[in-house]
Structure 1
Amino acid sequence: MTVLEEFFQQSPFETLSKELNFDSYDEKLWWEKSGLMLARVLSSASYTRDEQLQYLEFFAQALLPLLGPYPQFFRSSITRSGLPLELSINYQQQEKPLVVRIGFEPLNALSGNPQDPFNCLPASELLSSLAQLRTPGYDEQIWHQVIQDHTVSQAEREALQGINLEAGYIRSQTAFGFDLTREGKIAVKGYSFPALKCKVTGQSMAQLMATTMVNLTPLIDCSPAFATVDDYLREVGYDDRSFFSWDFVDPARSRLKLYTGSNSVTWEKLAEVWTLGNRVQSPTVARGLEYLRQLWDRMQLAAGEREIVVAFDDRQSTAKATPLLWNYEMRAGDPTPLTKLYFPVHGESDWKVITAVGDFLCHIGLERHGKGYVEKVKSYYPGIDLTTTDRFTSWVSFAYTEKTGVYLSTYYNSSTDNPWKMTVEEEEHA
């Protein structure tokens, strides 16, 4: 067998595993557990070999060094388990190629320690790496304004010492998202979690978000759309753990997203959220609501008011109930916000979730994805019987526009580890 033949017989993950020089044993472990998951997801989404190699190399070079110690000491707020990484796949009804996304909170050895209790330091390291990629259109202007508005200063960090912070669930300050596009370009998104800023400054979440939108106006003016969002959220009450997102592009072209949630998981709540309490009405909104109802009926979530324990779910006996989540997307020049809903499927039967998603994909005309969907998800977790589990699927998100039709994303536990096999007592004695 020639070297070239051997190269093509190996999977992209196997090829890179032989070539990579890890700086630490921690990096090697993260690669074997989460790098392998990324490889499985990319392959399942029909990325070409070259695309898989490109994005696995990006993961290894830019993200792997910033996953910190394994297992991590600092638990990230981007996942229910505290894992600082979350993989997802996007499906569009208009038959666009599938897009894999990485949600990521950079960590290092100081994350969660007294020197950096709220994990503020690693973000600058990641930004340096991203700048070196020289991605066309990459822009950090919104980042600098939002960080000033939403994250705690050194003096504020000191003021928070000794204060009960709800089991640490809101310690995360920032996170990042990476769309691994089929054009070979990585689209970068930023996230900020201002709950701590509100706690230390005494601002309400409503006040803080309104101030941020004003401060961003010289860069991007979404005030008409935000006025509608703000009016609705003030009526129903801003969630104290709301967060914010934007694109690392020229500010005028960015989307701004305000994320919030509710413990009420009912069809009535979904319909209210979708239309912002009937503030947004159009034929497109109505069509989207019809599809949303069809997805809701298939998912068969446990409906009602959920008792949410604000804590991580990372052991067999920890609380797994998850709230409804959604965001309102705002763009300059468009007075109408776009709703995206996140079905809280963490804690629901994984088998029920994946069979429902597969059925819905077939229903909306994506049979080639829907028919193989269950087997695809099973391939991510070999050796695990998904008919017996309820935490490997994290979210199913839904949006609808005239351009894309149904816009569906599915989110997964993104490590080969299964933290829910272990009880709290076993962890204490491990």
Structure 2
Amino acid sequence: MGIGLPARSHLPSYPSTLPYQTCWENARSHIGHALPHPPREEDALAFQTPIANEPWSQLNRVLTFRSTDAQFWWNKTGHVFARLLQRAGYTPAEQYNELIFYALFVAPELGLAPDENGNVRGWRSPGTPDSTPIDFSWEWGSGGRATIRYSFEPIGAHAGTPLDPLNRTATNRWIAKLREQNMVPGLDLEWYDHFTSQILPHKDMERTKTADVFVEETTPKAGTVVALDLEKSGPVMKMYIYPGLKAEELGITNLQLVQQSIRRLPQYASLRVEPLLEYLDEGTAKYGFETGIVGIDCLKPQDARIKIYVRAPHTTVDYMMDALTLGGRLEMKASEECLADLRGFWNAFLADAPAVLPADAPGRASPGFYYTVGCDRDISPKVYISPGYFCRSDADVLDRLRKFFSTRRSDGMMDNYEKAMRDVFDAQTLASRCGSQYYVGCALHQNKLRVVTYLSPQTFDCERDVVSGRQK
């Protein structure tokens, strides 16, 4: 018999270093006695095999949700998360911790399940190509271990209606729940409160220019997305905020609104951000930068970071190097080997692209950058590319990643990553669609190239495939 998950189940944040047996017993005490006793510690490694598919299977046997929508999202996206954790090298104890948190605090927030035809019902989350409200990332680590993160848009019951036209209530409610239950160590909302008040429309703000349309292409003009970094000490919350709607109403650019909001921070002087803000003005004039998102850590300001995302329809290595050095303002502290890796990663996806993308290319096709700043920190630039416009399929993306890593890695991480993809998506999906690996990114870090792939479960597209298959 399964258990119903209440809306506000209280589950403490367990450090991932807890012994395997202790982790399971803590989960039993907080979720319910329906959880079976765990296998022996010495059998835990069996959970890393594809056949056992544990701990997902153990949890899935006993967890049921009171909401059919939450049950759907747990079944579909929880399974994706479980497979990524397993293939990335997370221990069984770590997998249990992350999956239990996901079951209690993420799956119930993802809105309505698709209709009988696999289509979106209610709020259309614009962050992923098919509107799936969650995505995952795989950071290519070292020692045979990757780091898995996720970001999602909490979707309220009245999202998109006059009661909640911009889907604001769900995120605020979710944050309050985590804070009330002390689920995220170090959670601090000073910068969240500042940037949401500066960048998002006020509740009573009269909308004259964007009354009917506030979604442009696949990127929202207004709203917030939450993300969790799964650190050893517990999850670290991040927020992503979209400036487009308020900027349009005020008659200024997204960049101007972002610059204004940063310059009004009490900690502005210690950010040392002016070289970046000056370059973004320069890059906007030179390349046509589009400023899309501001990200923040929900930590005390002295520990938090701000991220500014921009993109432009240029694909040359010169464009990349100009953006990464802020037009010569920032010194590239990297070896020639590391810089060669950077150029190799860029060319793995863009070598055959025109120097400037055609005007009818979708906005997502434009290669971009995000810049991280923090109090008394150096400015840190990172690259992101959407393979969908440049690759034939997700299988092609896998081939390009394998070729790139073939001379740069000697471990089995590429094999593990490809197995994870094939665990989640069938061969036909990988060969016929280019949407699961919807962004790839890299950055120079400690004289090495850090690579991240961003993954969409493609839940709505996959559900439509199932429906279509039944109808044939």
Query: Following superposition of structure 1 onto structure 2, how do residues 147-226 of structure 1 map, counting pairs within 5 Å?
Result: 147-156=196-205, 158-159=207-208, 160-162=210-212, 165-166=215-216, 169-181=219-231, 183=232, 185-216=234-265, 218-219=266-267, 221-224=269-272, 226=273
Letter in 2 for 1:106: P
Which residue of the partner structure matches residue 461 of structure 2?
Answer: 418
Q: 1:380 to 1:164 in 2, by over 3 A?
A: closer
Identify which of 3, 8, 11 aligns with 2:54. 11
Q: 1:397 to 1:139 in 2, by over 3 A?
A: same
Once the two structures are superposed, what CA deviation does each residue of 1:198-239 show, in whole Å capped at 9, x if it has no partner?
0112232232122211222x2464542x21111111112174
Query: Following superposition of structure 1 onto structure 2, how do residues 76-155 of structure 1 map, counting pairs within 5 Å?
Result: 76-92=125-141, 95=143, 97-131=145-179, 132-155=181-204
Distance 1:320 1:388 in 2: 22
CA contact (8 A) 1:140 1:248 kept: yes
Offset of residue 117 of structure 1: 1.8
Q: Do residues 28 (structure 1) and 28 (structure 2) align?
A: no
Secondary structure of residue in 2 paired with 1:340:
strand
CA contact (8 A) 1:361 1:367 kept: no
Letter in 2 for 1:103: S
Q: Do residues 247 (structure 1) and 297 (structure 2) align?
A: yes
Higher mean Cα deviation, 204-213 or 53-62? 204-213
Once the two structures are superposed, what CA deviation does each residue of 1:330-386 show, in whole Å capped at 9, x if it has no partner?
12213x421110011124232221122233334333532134443332222135352
Q: Do residues 45 (structure 1) and 88 (structure 2) align?
A: yes
Distance 1:60 1:232 in 2: 43
Secondary structure of residue in 2 paired with 1:265:
coil
Which residue of the partner structure matches residue 369 of structure 1?
Answer: 413
Distance 1:207 1:252 in 2: 24
CA contact (8 A) 2:244 2:292 kept: yes
Once the two structures are superposed, what CA deviation does each residue of 1:382-424 show, in whole Å capped at 9, x if it has no partner?
3535233322211111001226x211111112245535966xx
Distance 2:434 2:96 in 1: 32
Distance 2:262 2:363 in 1: 34
CA contact (8 A) 1:308 1:322 kept: no
Which residue of the partner structure matches residue 231 of structure 1?
Answer: 278
Offset of residue 301 of structure 1: 5.5
Distance 2:204 2:37 in 1: 58
Which residue of the partner structure matches residue 372 of structure 2?
Answer: 329
Offset of residue 308 of structure 1: 6.7
Offset of residue 10 of structure 1: 6.5
Offset of residue 185 of structure 1: 1.1
Q: 1:206 to 1:343 in 2, by over 3 A?
A: closer
Distance 2:426 2:363 in 1: 23
Higher mean Cα deviation, 171-180 or 373-382? 373-382
Q: 1:117 to 1:302 in 2, by over 3 A?
A: farther
Which residue of the partner structure matches residue 57 of structure 1?
Answer: 100
Offset of residue 180 of structure 1: 1.6
Distance 1:4 1:249 in 2: 35
Distance 1:376 1:124 in 2: 33
CA contact (8 A) 2:184 2:237 kept: no
Q: 1:387 to 1:59 in 2, by over 3 A?
A: same
Higher mean Cα deviation, 299-308 or 226-235? 299-308
Which residue of the partner structure matches residue 342 of structure 1?
Answer: 384
Identify which of 288, 305, 314 aligns with 1:264. 314
CA contact (8 A) 1:177 1:188 kept: yes
Which residue of the partner structure matches residue 357 of structure 2?
Answer: 306
CA contact (8 A) 1:156 1:200 kept: no
Gaps of 5+ in 2: 1-35, 115-119
Gaps of 5+ in 1: 311-318
Offset of residue 129 of structure 1: 2.5
Letter in 1 for 2:251: G
Once the two structures are superposed, what CA deviation does each residue of 1:5-44 show, in whole Å capped at 9, x if it has no partner?
5997662222222332312111111111111111111111
Distance 1:282 1:77 in 2: 35
Task: Tell me the TM-score normalised to structure 1 length.
Answer: 0.86
Distance 1:213 1:320 in 2: 25
4+ residue runs over 6 A deviation: none
Offset of residue 128 of structure 1: 1.6
Which residue of the partner structure matches residue 388 of structure 1?
Answer: 432
Which residue of the partner structure matches residue 11 of structure 2?
Answer: none
CA contact (8 A) 2:314 2:366 kept: yes
Secondary structure of residue in 2 paired with 1:352:
helix
Distance 1:27 1:180 in 2: 22
Distance 1:376 1:135 in 2: 28
Number of residue pairs matched by the alignment: 409
Once the two structures are superposed, what CA deviation does each residue of 1:260-286 show, in whole Å capped at 9, x if it has no partner?
111223323222222222221233286
Q: Do residues 397 (structure 1) and 437 (structure 2) align?
A: no
Offset of residue 113 of structure 1: 1.9
Task: Tell me the TM-score normalised to structure 2 length.
Answer: 0.78
Q: 1:387 to 1:165 in 2, by over 3 A?
A: closer
Offset of residue 157 of structure 1: 5.8
Distance 1:281 1:96 in 2: 31
Higher mean Cα deviation, 385-394 or 34-43? 385-394
Higher mean Cα deviation, 339-348 or 13-22? 13-22
Q: 1:75 to 1:385 in 2, by over 3 A?
A: closer
Higher mean Cα deviation, 134-143 or 51-60? 134-143
CA contact (8 A) 1:358 1:369 kept: no
Higher mean Cα deviation, 408-417 or 49-58? 408-417
